[in-house]
Chain A
Amino acid sequence: EVQMVESGGGLVQPGGSLRLSCAASGFTFSNYAMSWVRQAPGKGLEWVSTISGSGGSTYYADSVKGRFTISRDNSKNTLSLQLNSLRAEDTAVYYCAKTEWSFALHYYYMDVWGKGTTVTVSS
């Protein structure tokens, strides 16, 4: 069974840092892009970042560029998101999602999602 389990969320003060992790299982991790998507309380889905299967290509939303860093360890089937300079508006549930992606064939979608981990930025 394909599964993603996020961890690392918690309460952090504004300006602080946090590292989220996503443990993937049930598929050949290195063959797939992976993404982080967040959802603020009562709000819609917001795409945060995507990383290619090799880790060589990364993409970020403008709202997090320069503050968040996505990475992956294909030997450990683990996806990470380093969150720095956190702001109140970063408060959200963060989802990890297996991503099917082809520039050549023009498709991009998230086919399996984790249950999410909650990040709260507050003093």
Chain B
Amino acid sequence: QSVLTQPPSVSAAPGQKVTISCSGSSSNIGDNSVSWYQQLPGTAPKLLIYDNNKRPSGIPDRFSGSQSGTSATLGITGLQTGDEADYYCGTWDSSLSVGVFGGGTKLTVL
């Protein structure tokens, strides 16, 4: 059971928008910023969003992040088949002094 809770799967058609939620608690998302990672099939994870809503260089603005209270959301607009991947949220838990990840969400672009 992961400390952060994500839906196991989401799906949408090409060109559409999708959101992925990440729910935590006051000691993790409520106290530290959230990051999001994209893992394409057979590859290592890649940083997609950091500090709740910042994009590393090279990440298109189709990807966005937000945080409110003890929850965070990843948004992807203009879906492409190449966006099919597993997406993970992560942060630090200040009470447990451990890093934490969500269980991951598999995105299917229909």
- How many angstroms between the C-alpha atoms of A108 and B92 in the bound complex? 6
Q: Is residue A88 within 8 Å, beta carbon to beta carbon, of the partner chain?
A: no
Q: Is residue B46 within 8 Å, beta carbon to beta carbon, of the partner chain?
A: yes
Of chain A, the residue at the smallest CB distance from B45 is A113
Measured as residues with beta carbon below 8 angstroms from the partner, the interface class of chain A is 20 to 34
Q: Is residue B98 within 8 Å, beta carbon to beta carbon, of the partner chain?
A: yes
- How many angstroms between the C-alpha atoms of A99 and B4 in the bound complex? 19
Beyond A44-B88, A45-B104, A106-B32, whether A111 also contacts B99 by CB under 8 A is no
Q: Is residue B56 within 8 Å, beta carbon to beta carbon, of the partner chain?
A: yes
Let me know if A100 and B99 touch, CB within 8 A: no
What is the predominant secondary structure among interface residues of chain A facing chain B?
strand
- How many angstroms between the C-alpha atoms of A5 and B99 in the bound complex? 22
| Chain A neighbourhood of B101, CB < 8 A | 37, 44-47
**Contacts A44-B102, A115-B43 given; 8 further ones with Cβ under 8 A?**
A37-B101, A45-B88, A47-B98, A47-B100, A107-B50, A108-B92, A109-B50, A111-B50
Q: Is residue A12 within 8 Å, beta carbon to beta carbon, of the partner chain?
A: no
What is the predominant secondary structure among interface residues of chain B facing chain A?
strand
Pick from B47, B88, B97, B102: contact of A59, CB under 8 Å: B97
Let me know if A106 and B31 touch, CB within 8 A: yes
| Chain B neighbourhood of A101, CB < 8 A | 92
- How many angstroms between the C-alpha atoms of A116 and B47 in the bound complex? 15
Of chain A, the residue at the smallest CB distance from B6 is A44
Chain A 10-45, CB within 8 Å of chain B: the 1/0 string?
Answer: 000000000000000000000000010100000011
